[in-house]
Amino acid sequence: MAVAVAAPHPAAVEAAEEAVAAGGNALDAALAAAGALAVAYPHQCSVGGDLVAIVRPAGGPARAVLSIGAAAAAVDIAALRAAGDRMPFDGPQTITVPGVVAGWAAIAGLGSRLSLADLLAPAIRLAADGVPFSPGLRRAIAYRQDAIESDPGLSALLLTGDDRLVQPALAATLTAIGAGWRTFYEGDLARRLAEGLRKLGSPLVAADLAAHRAEVVPPLTRVLGEVTWHAAPPPVQGPTFLAVVGAPDLLAASQRARLVRDNLLGDPRTGPVDLAALLSPSAAPGGGPAPSDGRKPTGDTVAVTAVDQDGNAVTLIQSVFESFGSGLLDPETGIVLHNRGSSFRLEPDHPGRIAPGSRPPHTLCPTLAVTGDDVLALGCQGGRNQPWILAQVAGEALGSSDLTGLLTRPRWYFDEGAVVTEPGAGDLRDDAGHVQVCRLRSGELAAASDPRADGRGAVLGE
C-alpha cells in the first residue's frame, strides 16, 4: 500500500517506512512516526505529554481523538493562588496526567493493522542505540540551558557531550508499553512513574494515572463550498481554527478569535464552555484581553500527517508544550514530563480555571479536510498560534502543485499583541510553526514537511 507521510524528523519517516513495508496503512505509519519522535525530539514531545488527532478511516466518518491529561485530584489550588496570579511556567505543579500512550492506543483502535509492539520497535531501537542530536534539539537545549542544568534527569541525558542521544531507560519504558500499553496507567510502569512524580514534587498519584481515558468523539466541522473541515472540540482550540479558516481578512479574524479563545476556552467536563462564541468570535460578547503571561508564543510540539491510497487519513499532534515541558525528566522511566498545566487559569470564574480532574485549555490543533474522495491532513507546531499558522496554508494546500513551496513561504504570527512577519524565505523561524501536510487528490498522494523543522515528506511503498 502506498502511504504519504510527513513528519519533522527523518527518523520518524524511516519508522513509518518500516511500518508500511510490514503491511501497515496510514494509521500505522503515523503511529510508528509518533513513537520515533518521542525518542528523537524530547524537547517537543514525549510519552510524558499529551496527544490530539483527527482520524478518518477509509469509508468512514472522521473522529477526533483527545488524550488530554487532567490535573491531580489533590491539586492545592489555594497554594497556587497564594504564590501568584498566574500558574507557574514549569516545574512539578504544571505536570498533568500524560495522555500520549492512551492516545496511541485509541488511534490504533480506529483501524491500524500492526501491533503496538511492532509499531514501537523502531523507536525502541532509536532509544537503545541512540540518534544524532538534530539542529532543532540543539536550539532547544540552548534556549532552556538553565532549566536543563537544574534538573538531574535532563542534564544527565542532554549535557554529556556525546554526539548521539542514547536513552536506555526510555527504551525499557517503550518496550513495556508495546507489551501492554495499560501498564502506563495501571500497571508496574504506572507505579514507578507515580513514585518518580512524587520525588519530583508533583501532586499526581497512581489513582490519577489510572483515571485517565482518551476520548474518541465526532470532530467539529465547518463546510466551505465543497470542502468539509474537521477540528477537535474543547478543551482544544479546534473551534478557533474553524472560526478563521477561509476568512477574507485572516489577520483581522485571527485577532478577534485570539481574544475570544483566551477568555472562553476551557474544559467542558468541569464547567460551561461557550462553543458558539468560539466558533463565531465576531458575534461573541466583548471583553478585555487575557492578561499577558510573558511567554514565548510557540510551544514545542510535533505534528505527523499520513494519508494512504485507500483514503485512510491521520493528522496527529503530540506535545510536551514548552521546550522540555516542565523541565523535569523522571530518571527511572526516562520520561520527559510536560507542562500543560501551566495553561490553567487561577481566576475562579474563568472557563479554563484549574480544578481537580480538569483538563487545561489546549493549543493542539490538528485539522483534516474532505471533499468527495479527496482528503487533506494538516498539522503544525506553533503553540497558541496554530490556528492562523494552519489557516495561512490550508486553502492552497488542497490544490497546490508545489506543497513544499507553499510551506516555504514567509508567514506571520502573534508575539503577545504584536504581529510578527518572517522577513523572507531565507529567514524562516520556528515561531512561525512547523507545518506537516499529506494529501490524496484524484487518486494521487503527496506529502510535504516544513523547512523550519528537520524532517521530510515522502510517499512510501510505491
For residue 130, count other CB atoms closer than 10 A to its CB.
17
Q: List the grid coordinates of 432.
A: 512561525
Strand partners, 5: 306, 458
**Running DSSP on this structure, what letter comes out for residue 431?**
G
What is the rounded distance in angstroms from the CA atom of residue 290 to the CA atom of residue 258?
A: 10
What is the rounded distance in angstroms from the CA atom of residue 424 to the CA atom of residue 408?
A: 9
Strand partners, 413: 420
Q: List the grid coordinates of 391.
A: 489557516
Please say whether the beta carbons of 363 and 390 come within 8 A. Answer: no
For residue 183, count other CB atoms closer than 10 A to its CB.
18
Whether residue 94 lies in the annotated active site: no
Q: DSSP of 219-279, one letter per residue?
A: PEEEEETTEEEEEPPTTBSHHHHHHHTT-SSHHHHHHHHHHHHHHH---TTTS---HHHHH
**Running DSSP on this structure, what letter comes out for residue 214?**
-
Strand partners, 294: none
Selected catalytic residue, list 301, 305, 333, 367: 301
Please say whether the beta carbons of 30 and 113 come within 8 A. Answer: no
Please say whether the beta carbons of 99 and 69 come within 8 A. Answer: yes
| Phi/psi-derived region of residue 425, left when phi > 0, alpha when psi is between -120 and 50, beta in every other case | alpha
Is 223 buried (19+), middle (13-18) or exposed (0-12) by CB count in 10 A? exposed
What is the rounded distance in angstroms from the CA atom of residue 108 to the CA atom of residue 31?
A: 8
For residue 294, count other CB atoms closer than 10 A to its CB.
8
What is the rounded distance in angstroms from the CA atom of residue 35 to the CA atom of residue 38?
A: 5
Give catalytic residues, as residue numbers. 301
